[in-house]
Amino acid sequence: MPTALITGASSGLGLALTRALAQDGWDLVVDARGADRLHRATAGLPAVHRHPGDVTDPGHRAELVAACRELGGIDLLVNNAGGLGPSPLPTLGEFPLPALEELYRVNVVAPLGLIQLSLPLLAACGGVIVNITSDAATAVYPGWGGYGSSKAALEQIGAVLGAECTGSVRVYSFDPGDLRTPMHQAAFPDDDISDRPLPESVVPAFRSLLAERPGNGRYQAGDLVPGARA
Could you please report the per-residue DSSP string of 180-223? S-HHHHHHSTTS--TTSPPGGGGHHHHHHHHHH--SSEEEEHHH
Give me the catalytic one of 104, 141, 147, 219: 147
Contact 169, 158 (CB under 8 A): no
Catalytic annotation present for 141: no
DSSP type of residue 136: G
Q: Measuring CA to CA, which residue among 39, 33, 29, 22 is closest to residue 5?
A: 29
Could you please report the per-residue DSSP string of 45-110? -TTEEE----TT-HHHHHHHHHHHHHTT--SEEEE------SSSPPPGGG--HHHHHHHHIIIIIH
Contacts of 201 (CB under 8 A, 6+ apart): 179, 228, 229
Cα angle 167, 170, 173; round to 5: 140
CA–CA gap between residue 126 and residue 18 (Å, rounded) = 21
Element (H, E) at 30: strand 27-30
Catalytic residue annotation: 147
